[in-house]
């Protein structure tokens, strides 16, 4: 049973939302970030990059987080942000040149996270967990929802569709040709229908935002211990999430780029691979995998197809069937000597939205010796691994939609 809850969002006024909301801070290259800060005084980037006001970009730690809180208060004091008077759910729709996503922004329960109703598919770094918990404690708000997915539900979809027949509270298009719309659900009957519908959902899966969800739960635990009047209904017992049906989730793969062959020659490396894979040299053909357990490889000016030999690898559980895990167990660790795939400097990852061309270009530039591509993981694979209590290797999935900051803000 999944618990979802309406909340009183802090939001930009309708006339300024297109100027206020932004992509995630980390999504902007330095020069683009500087331009946004210089020419848009309403951008939320001024809140999360408070040092710009003092011409200092390197403010860090608690000092920076306190300045973020101060800039946030200024946006409220200047009337850029106001808080809704009635708790609500928020329907958010994002339309790109190729896709459309529509789901519900709500508060979700930290207890559901602890009780495995909300499940994660990848591990988190303790350092980042602590950093973001510190950020939340000092700023008092979260402006980016965690992306959760759930099995398609006709009852929830019908409510979402009903609201889309009316004018949206927000409707604006950004320079990357993406349109954003937001509807407010404050009607008590519809709120009850949504709440009841999610109570029938057994599991919500974290698609994106693992560190945000983990850190929110850590903060809730600490604040509960510090609060002698703790009831369980305080805002810190929930975190903001964007609930999206599984059918609307886009999952892409990450390519792997390796800096050296671990002392092997090209021929020696191919001989090692021949024990595990059926190898076909595709020459200059831009080869892309055709099926699961088939990989593309670019090495020494040629593309290769690598097909797993069934006799060379044993499937023991759902994780062992995952292509990213197969590549790690058969190539990255035993042949290329990459044990810690999260932290080893010999490997980097890049989301594959270029049709595989990047596999060639990055190696040809000389920074890497070999690259690997695979088919994307699908939602059933993700759920199958998570449901048996396992986690996927890092950088297995690149998931869309990516959400904007400050469309709705959740205060603790």
Kindly tell me if the per-residue pLDDT of 179 is higher than 90.
yes
Kindly tell me if the per-residue pLDDT of 236 is higher than 70.
yes
Burial class of residue 195 (count of CB atoms within 10 Å of its CB; 0-12, 13-18, 19+): middle
For the stretch 312-334, pLDDT in tens is 999 999 999 999 999 999 999 99
Q: Which residue has the tokens 């499940």?
A: 119
Q: What number is the average pLDDT over the span 171-197?
A: 97
The CA distances from residue 184 to 79, 87, 193, 238, 256, in Å, are 20, 10, 15, 19, 42
Provide the CB-side half-sphere exposure for 45 (13 A, CA). Answer: 24
**143 vs 109: CA distance, rounded Å:** 17
For the stretch 30-88, pLDDT in tens is 888 889 999 999 999 999 988 766 655 566 677 889 999 999 999 999 999 999 999 99
What percentage of residues in the chain have a pLDDT greater than 90? 88
Domain ranges of the chain: 4-248+400-411, 254-396
Mean pLDDT over the full length of the chain: 94
Q: Is this model's pTM higher than 0.85 or not?
A: yes
Residue 335, SS3 per DSSP: coil
For the stretch 99-124, pLDDT in tens is 999 999 999 999 999 999 999 999 88
Helix, strand and coil percent figures for the chain, each rounded to 5? 35, 25, 40
Residue 255's beta-bridge partner residues? 350
Across 192-341, the runs of DSSP E, i.e. the strands, are: 204-208, 238-245, 250-252, 254-258, 277-283, 294-299, 302-308
Q: Which residue has the tokens 């061309």?
A: 357
Q: Cβ of 316: how many Cβ atoms within 10 Å?
A: 8
Q: What is the pLDDT of residue 53?
A: 65
Q: Classify 99 in phi/psi space as left (phi over 0), alpha (psi -120 to 50) or beta.
A: beta
Supply φ then ψ for residue 362, to 5 degrees. Answer: -65, -35
Q: What number is the average pLDDT over the span 124-144?
A: 94
Query: Cis omega before residue 52 (within 30°)?
Result: no
Q: What is the pLDDT of residue 70?
A: 95
Tokens of 77: 């004091």
Q: Cβ of 29: how many Cβ atoms within 10 Å?
A: 8
**117 vs 217: CA distance, rounded Å:** 14
Q: What number is the average pLDDT over the span 16-22?
A: 97
Provide the CB-side half-sphere exposure for 56 (13 A, CA). Answer: 9
Q: Which of 38-47, 174-183, 350-359 has the lowest mean pLDDT?
A: 350-359
CATH of domain 254-396: 3.30.1760
Q: What is the pLDDT of residue 125?
A: 84
User: Strand 204-208 to strand 118-119: parallel, antiparallel, or no bridges (unpaired)?
Assistant: parallel
How would you label 75-104 residue by residue, b for 16+ Cβ within 10 Å and e otherwise? beeeebbeebeebbbbbbbbeeeeeebbbb
Q: Which helix (H) or strand (E) holds 385?
A: helix 379-386
**408 vs 404: CA distance, rounded Å:** 9
Q: What number is the average pLDDT over the span 271-278?
A: 97
**137 vs 412: CA distance, rounded Å:** 8
């Amino acid at each position: 049973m999944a618990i979802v809850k309406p909340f009183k969002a802090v939001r930009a006024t309708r006339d300024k939302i297109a100027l206020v909301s932004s992509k995630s801070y980390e999504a902007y290259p330095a020069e683009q970030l500087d331009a946004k800060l210089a020419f848009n005084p309403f951008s939320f980037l001024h809140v999360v990059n408070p040092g710009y006001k003092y011409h200092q970009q390197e403010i860090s730690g608690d000092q920076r987080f306190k300045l973020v809180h101060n800039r946030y208060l200024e946006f409220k004091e200047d009337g850029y942000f106001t808080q809704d008077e009635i708790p609500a759910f928020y329907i958010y729709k994002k339309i790109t040149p190729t896709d459309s996503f529509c789901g519900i922004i709500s508060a979700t329960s930290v207890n559901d996270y602890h009780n495995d109703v909300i499940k994660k598919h990848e591990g988190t770094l303790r350092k980042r967990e602590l950093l973001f918990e510190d950020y939340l404690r000092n700023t008092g708000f979260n402006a980016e929802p965690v992306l959760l997915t759930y099995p398609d539900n006709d009852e929830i979809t019908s409510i979402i569709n009903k609201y889309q027949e009316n004018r949206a509270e927000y409707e604006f298009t950004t320079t990357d040709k993406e349109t954003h719309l937001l509807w407010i659900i404050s009607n008590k009957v519809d709120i009850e229908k949504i709440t009841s519908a999610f109570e029938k959902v057994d599991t919500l899966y974290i698609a994106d935002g693992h560190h945000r969800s983990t850190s929110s739960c850590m903060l809730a635990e600490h604040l509960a211990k510090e609060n002698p009047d703790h009831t369980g209904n305080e805002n810190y017992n929930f975190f903001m999430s964007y609930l999206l049906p599984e059918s609307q989730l886009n999952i892409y793969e990450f390519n792997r780029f390796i800096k050296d062959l671990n002392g092997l020659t090209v021929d020696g490396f191919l001989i090692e691979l021949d024990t595990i894979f059926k190898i076909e040299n595709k020459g200059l053909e831009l080869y892309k995998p055709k099926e699961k357990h088939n990989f593309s490889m670019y090495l020494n000016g040629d593309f290769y197809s690598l097909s797993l030999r069934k006799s060379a690898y044993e499937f023991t559980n759902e994780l062992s069937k995952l292509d990213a895990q197969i590549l790690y167990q058969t190539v990255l660790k035993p042949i290329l000597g990459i044990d810690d795939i999260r932290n080893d400097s010999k490997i980097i990852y890049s989301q594959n939205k270029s049709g595989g061309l990047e596999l060639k270009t990055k190696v040809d530039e000389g920074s890497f010796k070999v690259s690997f591509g695979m088919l994307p993981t699908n939602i059933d694979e993700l759920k199958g691994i998570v449901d048996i209590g396992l986690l996927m290797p890092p950088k297995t999935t690149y998931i869309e939609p990516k959400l904007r900051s400050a469309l709705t803000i959740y205060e603790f």
